[in-house]
Homo-oligomer: A and B are copies of this chain.
Amino acid sequence: MGSIERIKGVAKRVIAEKKNKNDVVVVVSAMSGETNRLLDLAFQAGGTADNLETDMIISSGEQVSSGLLSLVLKSEGYDSVPLLGHQVRITTDEVHGKARIARIDGENINKELSRGKIAVIAGFQGINRDGFITTLGRGGSDTTAVAIAAAIKADRCDIYTDVDGVYTADPSLVPDARRLDSVYFDEMIEMSSLGAKVLQIRSVEFAMKYRVNLFVKSTFVEGPGTQIKFLGEKIDMEELEVSSVACDKDEAKISIRGVPDKPGIAAKIFSKISEANIVVDMIIQNISVHGFTDLTFTVSKKDLKKSLAITSKIAGELKAKEVISDDKIAKISVIGVGMRNHYGTASTMFKALSKENINIMMISTSEIKISCVIDARYAEHATRVLHDTFGLGKAKRPK
């Protein structure tokens, strides 16, 4: 939600749905820039992202949006009611700053809908069992929307974003990137964790778990958007080998070189890092040479400093030769459920990169995705090359 003008735009969409004889529940996010402004105030006062107080402060952004949208709907002649997390009884765990929803009571919402009202719910917030406001982390309003859709068994849950759907690649990097009419939940989860910023991964997981009929649409332009579909038992043989290419420049890598190779080294390092609440993404351990080994892993750039401090300390204890790090890397991934039917997707990918003289530093794979870490300088070029290699500018998913 941006300015009042933007809220009026949102109201138009809501009214169009209402005119189509749908009951409508709207979950709102804060106005543009508001969460950052409030977060900054909290930080100035000595707060951190996981404070009870910080949650109380930043959740006010959605509270304001919810009141404003309800006012605009009313002044357009549509009866509506703004509702906060504690009114909808969105109960969460105790983790401030990234709480997880435990339960939603759809009763209050259904009551308002049965009175013909549009329910306008403040996203991103819940309450814990002591009655304090919690927030769900960045993109938390998406999660609220999906969770409410599940709780009231909604026919459909439309997530409005900055883009008009899910693309075969980031259109700002790849000029012929194409909107997909549909992607599978399995792909969407991979995409969300691989740098595609369309939907927060938790909202996708939630929707998948509770079988919510999910769409991604644009706040700015009308259109069909992208449907997130459930994958059946059998994959169509005509299915696209790869449906999208993702590029993530938010990671950095750390290498410990010349570690005396004894059992339990990796466990020692990664248990210390995980104790610091840092998530390690990719890991490579080289084959031991003359009793020494190298260990390389990636973490989020924001955790690099802290991870380096931990790693250096352990490296000292282990008498490793050196610890080096590199934050000028990019993780390029290809994703597609069709990979399960096609053999050699990985080799096609590696060949394409090699042909362009792009060196692959690390590789990780799952059943439906292959990721390669490369030099950040080639990130955009590699994305375009892979998009082209797998014919994503043209190929259409079978119906």
Q: Chain B's nearest CB lies how many Å from the CB of A81?
A: 8
A57 close to B (CB within 8 Å): yes
Q: Chain B's nearest CB lies how many Å from the CB of A8?
A: 8
Q: Chain B's nearest CB lies how many Å from the CB of A72?
A: 5
Residue on B nearest A66 in the bound complex, by CB: B56
Find out whether the CB atom of B87 lies under 8 angstroms from the CB atom of A45: no
**Could you mark each residue 242-275 of chain A with 1 if its beta carbon is under 8 Å from any beta carbon of chain B, else 0?**
0000000000000000000000000000000000
Separation of A131 and B82 alpha carbons in the complex (Å): 11
Most B CB within 10 A of own CB, among A42, A66, A72, A82: A82
Find out whether the CB atom of B53 lies under 8 angstroms from the CB atom of A131: no
Q: Chain B's nearest CB lies how many Å from the CB of A359?
A: 47
Separation of A66 and B55 alpha carbons in the complex (Å): 12
A163 close to B (CB within 8 Å): no
Residue on B nearest A133 in the bound complex, by CB: B84
On chain A, which size bracket covers the interface?
A: 35 or more
Find out whether the CB atom of A45 lies under 8 angstroms from the CB atom of B75: yes
**Could you mark each residue 67-93 of chain A with 1 if its beta carbon is under 8 Å from any beta carbon of chain B, else 0?**
111111011000001101011000000
Known A60-B60, A87-B131, A131-B87: A67·B82 in contact at CB below 8 Å: no
**Could you mark each residue 17-45 of chain A with 1 if its beta carbon is under 8 Å from any beta carbon of chain B, else 0?**
00000000000000000000010011011
Find out whether the CB atom of A64 lies under 8 angstroms from the CB atom of B75: no
Chain B contacts for A45, CB-based, 8 A = 4, 7, 67-69, 71-72, 75
Residue on B nearest A8 in the bound complex, by CB: B45
* Chain A binding surface SS class: helix
Find out whether the CB atom of A64 lies under 8 angstroms from the CB atom of B57: yes
A64 interface neighbour in B60, B67, B81, Cβ under 8 Å: B60
A325 close to B (CB within 8 Å): no
A54 close to B (CB within 8 Å): yes
Separation of A206 and B64 alpha carbons in the complex (Å): 30
Find out whether the CB atom of A38 lies under 8 angstroms from the CB atom of B53: no
Chain B contacts for A393, CB-based, 8 A = none
A51 close to B (CB within 8 Å): yes
Q: Chain B's nearest CB lies how many Å from the CB of A369?
A: 41
Find out whether the CB atom of B64 lies under 8 angstroms from the CB atom of A46: no
Find out whether the CB atom of A41 lies under 8 angstroms from the CB atom of B68: yes
Find out whether the CB atom of A47 lies under 8 angstroms from the CB atom of B71: yes
A46 interface neighbour in B44, B57, B74, Cβ under 8 Å: B74
A86 interface neighbour in B60, B69, B86, Cβ under 8 Å: B86
Chain B contacts for A133, CB-based, 8 A = 84
- Residues of A at the B interface (CB closer than 8 Å) are 4, 7, 38, 41-42, 44-47, 51-57, 60, 63-64, 66-72, 74-75, 81-82, 84, 86-87, 131-133
Q: List 15 A-B contacts (CB under 8 A).
A: A7-B45, A38-B64, A41-B68, A42-B67, A45-B69, A45-B72, A46-B72, A46-B75, A47-B68, A47-B71, A53-B74, A56-B63, A60-B60, A60-B63, A86-B86
